[in-house]
Amino acid sequence: MSNKIDDLDIQIIKELQKDARQSFRELAKKLKVAEGTVYNRANKLSKTGVIKGFIPDIDFSKLGYDLVALIGMAIDGGHMQEIEKKIAKEPNVSAVYDVTGEYDAVIVAKFRSRAELNDFIERILSMEYVKRTYTMVVLNVLKEQHGIRI
């Protein structure tokens, strides 16, 4: 199975970004190809890890998660991946990034209250190799998408 991504693969990805619930039959009709072609291409994209899953786009603020925090972490060298893996398992965390600059990692997390955020920061700071954190609280969300337009 080839890992090469062609124009049809890109069209399928774009359509799935618009609505991942549409059927392969609907997709095939829109793209003017056979349903089996769409099925095979979508499976290939999944097996090669291009498509990582089909999840609903949820407005977490409507579920009470109004507090978004961006947290920079300074970590003792050699232990970065170990710490990041632990933090990535936290339920409120939506992203963990290795970054350049003053901090080694940045966390994006959502909370229902300042108390939840405070507890989270205290847990991070109690980890053995975490030197310090820097927390920014988001005031307004102007754009939040988990994908980019291809």
Q: Are residues 22 and 67 in the same domain?
A: no
Provide the pLDDT confidence category of residue 137 given band limits of 50, 70 and 90: very high
Per-residue pLDDT at 145: 80
Distances (CA, A) of 2 to 9, 40, 114, 143: 12, 12, 49, 35
Tell me the mean pLDDT in the region 90-97: 96
pTM of the entire structure?
A: 0.80
Provide the pLDDT confidence category of residue 85 given band limits of 50, 70 and 90: very high
CATH number of the domain bearing residue 39? 1.10.10.10
Handedness of CA 89, 64, 18, 28 (dihedral sign): positive
Closest residue by Cα to residue 28 from 79, 44, 17, 16 = 16
Residue 52 lies in a domain: no
Domain span holding position 20: 7-47
Q: Are residues 67 and 104 in the same domain?
A: yes
Residue 148 lies in a domain: no
Q: Are residues 93 and 30 in the same domain?
A: no
Helices (H) and strands (E) in the chain, counts: 5, 4
Residue 110 lies in a domain: yes
Overall residue count recorded for the chain in this entry: 150
Residue 144 lies in a domain: no
Count how many domains the chain has: 2
Q: Are residues 81 and 113 in the same domain?
A: yes
Q: Are residues 64 and 128 in the same domain?
A: yes
Residue 125 lies in a domain: yes
Tell me the mean pLDDT in the region 31-46: 95
Provide the pLDDT confidence category of residue 150 given band limits of 50, 70 and 90: confident
**CA pair distance 18, 31, nearest whole angstrom:** 14
Residue 113 lies in a domain: yes
Is the pLDDT score of 1 beyond 70?
no
Angle at CA 126, nearest 5°, toward 125 and 132?
25
> Which runs of E-coded beta strand occur in the chain?
67-75, 93-98, 105-111, 130-137
Residue 147 lies in a domain: no
